[in-house]
A and B are shown apart, each in its own frame.
Chain A
């Protein structure tokens, strides 16, 4: 678990990059520091891409509390989406890809370790939600690590009623259940469907039935000859 200080450094690092116009995003930094004050240790990590976006990672326990805080205090009244990410790489690797796609050098053999994206992570499943403030036009991504293979987390419906269907989708696709959800049944899939399709270990059977041709006939970009080194746009 990293301390809040490292986050601060991250922000400074961002700002010293050679990007000239977007230096420090004061509005978004203020949002983060406000949330840090309110959430305390429950806010594990945060990340700001100046002028573009904000991410925070919170603990599983304060998932609902974060929503309340964002809604009431930070006026994030617009509910954007709620979903999840399965960080455990597929056990099938690239075996289902076409041979032509497979010749890249950095192909990992066998089971690779979990690597997390922005704001890091600790567990296989991560919830991901986004809410937005239409008047300041700042949105925020909220992530939360979920413990276990079939995690449970509190529902966001009391704060954002629009989360209802999104949570049903996450339940059937990832096997994450939401406590206090009024109607947690499958949204898309038939009731008797077994498995959770968006988990990485759920095989894509159509690929096995019929092999994928892979990249065929890579088209030339406009103004590009067969020689890749030629400058683009010369003859347009």
Chain B
């Protein structure tokens, strides 16, 4: 796979070089093209102003702020339990995962720890929201490259996962279920068996995507050797999650982070890919959905019994201090820096969202690529606009 990829890479570079030479000789005139903006709630659309030289991108400049909702300011006037309602809307495809690091940071300041059962259920929901999120990516990436079928499969199978999340939390997209010291409710009856059936579906969905998309020759030519991000560049831009693991960096906070979730008690694997191209980013995410299914399966077998809530006061006041907790969310590393002054409301909340850093690399990675490749690179970086703008 490696040698094949590197040949493709080389021929790609050679093509670009020869084209560049032609361009210099012909003195072609530049052109400015607006990619977007579509309606900001549309999934995966971003306004990028690209300056083109023929078919090649000279510079790309993303324009943000169409969806800026000022959550950092709003958090300063809301009580801690109220903030989860806001942060739910950051990455709206994996909402529950947004709540977890905020609650963990508040728990660290209060020196409260959720009881084991709550931690296991939290981890199960955390991974289910990852599945719901990334499954959509697996279909959406194909649709952006012109294959319409996979996205319908993705929407179909994601619905089953959302049903499971809804039956626990009451919310399909915005669960608002995590509490300081535990979770709101226990699992409903029969949920474990239903979830196992859903996991089987997701497994077969992954196999389908493996055949339909990964095995597809057109898909491979459109993504192999396209948008290569070396590991050191990716790190210095703050790329995280599957994006950096597909550049060969073996780093996953679920394994290395060691904050109040139970991933360290489960048997799973961190997948990496050495290539760092669009194909690798798709492939790594596909494997991660499979790993998440494995994790949820083990969690369902191992949930301990006991209380789901630690002893916390009814009106929550967080003692003064500062804490930063980050977790490995579906889109990458998400963290909250909370400054508390012992009040009902946080003094300052800094939200470190994954997509903001992931997208900040676009001016670097889009330089010199062809226009059709812009689409495949942006799709494979996988951002959600709410996660960029916060």
Q: A80 vs B235: C-alpha distance in the bound complex, in angstroms?
A: 9
Interface string of B247-264 (1 = CB under 8 A from A): 001010000110000000
Q: Is the CB of A221 within 8 A of B314?
A: yes
Stretch in B3-11, B34-42, B357-365 touching the partner: B357-365
Q: Is the CB of A81 within 8 A of B360?
A: no
Interface string of B312-348 (1 = CB under 8 A from A): 1011010011111010000001010101011111001
Q: A171 vs B164: C-alpha distance in the bound complex, in angstroms?
A: 43
B73 vs chain A, min Cβ distance (A): 6
Chain A: CB-nearest residue to B312: A221
Q: Is the CB of B335 within 8 A of A212?
A: no
A141, CB-defined interface residue at 8 Å: yes
Q: A86 vs B356: C-alpha distance in the bound complex, in angstroms?
A: 22
Q: Is the CB of A134 within 8 A of B235?
A: yes
In the bound complex, residues from chain A placing their C-beta under 8 Å from that of B309 are 221-224, 232-233
B87 vs chain A, min Cβ distance (A): 16
Q: Is the CB of B77 within 8 A of A81?
A: no
In the bound complex, residues from chain A placing their C-beta under 8 Å from that of B240 are 78
Q: A220 vs B72: C-alpha distance in the bound complex, in angstroms?
A: 28
Chain B: CB-nearest residue to A78: B235
Q: Is the CB of B70 within 8 A of A77?
A: no
Q: Is the CB of A106 within 8 A of B342?
A: yes
Interface string of A76-92 (1 = CB under 8 A from B): 01111101011000000
Number of A-B contacts (CB under 8 A): 138
Chain B: CB-nearest residue to A222: B309
Q: Say whether, besides A83-B350, A118-B322, A197 and B70 are in contact (CB < 8 Å).
A: yes
Q: Say whether, besides A96-B77, A162-B238, A212-B77, A222 and B350 are in contact (CB < 8 Å).
A: no
In the bound complex, residues from chain A placing their C-beta under 8 Å from that of B341 are 115
Q: A219 vs B184: C-alpha distance in the bound complex, in angstroms?
A: 10
B389, CB-defined interface residue at 8 Å: yes
Tell me which of A101, A134, A197 has the highest count of chain B C-beta atoms within 10 A of its own C-beta. Answer: A134
Q: Is the CB of B350 within 8 A of A81?
A: yes
B232, CB-defined interface residue at 8 Å: yes
Q: Is the CB of A161 within 8 A of B352?
A: no
Q: A236 vs B306: C-alpha distance in the bound complex, in angstroms?
A: 7
A104, CB-defined interface residue at 8 Å: yes
A130, CB-defined interface residue at 8 Å: yes
B39 vs chain A, min Cβ distance (A): 18
Residues of B138-168 whose CB lies within 8 A of A: none
In the bound complex, residues from chain B placing their C-beta under 8 Å from that of A134 are 235, 249, 251
In the bound complex, residues from chain B placing their C-beta under 8 Å from that of A86 are 348
Q: A190 vs B333: C-alpha distance in the bound complex, in angstroms?
A: 28
A215, CB-defined interface residue at 8 Å: yes
Q: Is the CB of A198 within 8 A of B77?
A: no
Q: Is the CB of A187 within 8 A of B77?
A: no
In the bound complex, residues from chain B placing their C-beta under 8 Å from that of A23 are none
Q: Say whether, besides A53-B324, A160-B236, A161-B364, A81 and B307 are in contact (CB < 8 Å).
A: no
Q: Is the CB of B337 within 8 A of A128?
A: yes
B21, CB-defined interface residue at 8 Å: no
Complex partner residue of B238 from A71, A80, A135, A189, CB under 8 angstroms: A80
Q: A83 vs B335: C-alpha distance in the bound complex, in angstroms?
A: 13
Q: Is the CB of A77 within 8 A of B236?
A: yes
Complex partner residue of A207 from B77, B307, B312, CB under 8 angstroms: B77
A117, CB-defined interface residue at 8 Å: yes
A209 vs chain B, min Cβ distance (A): 13
Tell me which of A117, A135, A221, A236 has the highest count of chain B C-beta atoms within 10 A of its own C-beta. Answer: A221
A97, CB-defined interface residue at 8 Å: yes
A15, CB-defined interface residue at 8 Å: no
Q: Is the CB of B307 within 8 A of A79?
A: no
Q: A197 vs B73: C-alpha distance in the bound complex, in angstroms?
A: 7
Q: Is the CB of B65 within 8 A of A188?
A: yes
Chain A: CB-nearest residue to B359: A165
Q: A79 vs B311: C-alpha distance in the bound complex, in angstroms?
A: 37
Give A contacts to B, CB under 8 Å. Answer: 52-53, 55, 71, 77-81, 83, 85-86, 96-97, 101, 104, 106, 115, 117-118, 128, 130, 134-135, 137, 141, 159-162, 164-165, 173, 186-190, 197-198, 202, 204, 207, 212, 215, 218-224, 228, 232-233, 236
Closest 9 CB pairs of A and B: A233-B307, A188-B65, A162-B237, A162-B238, A188-B68, A134-B251, A79-B238, A81-B352, A77-B235
With A117-B320, A162-B238, A197-B70 given, name 5 new contacts (CB 8 A).
Answer: A106-B342, A117-B322, A162-B239, A207-B77, A232-B309
Give B contacts to A, CB under 8 Å. Answer: 64-65, 68, 70, 72-74, 76-77, 79, 108, 115, 179, 181-182, 184-186, 232-233, 235-240, 249, 251, 256-257, 306-312, 314-315, 317, 320-324, 326, 333, 335, 337, 339, 341-345, 348, 350, 352, 356-357, 360-361, 364, 389
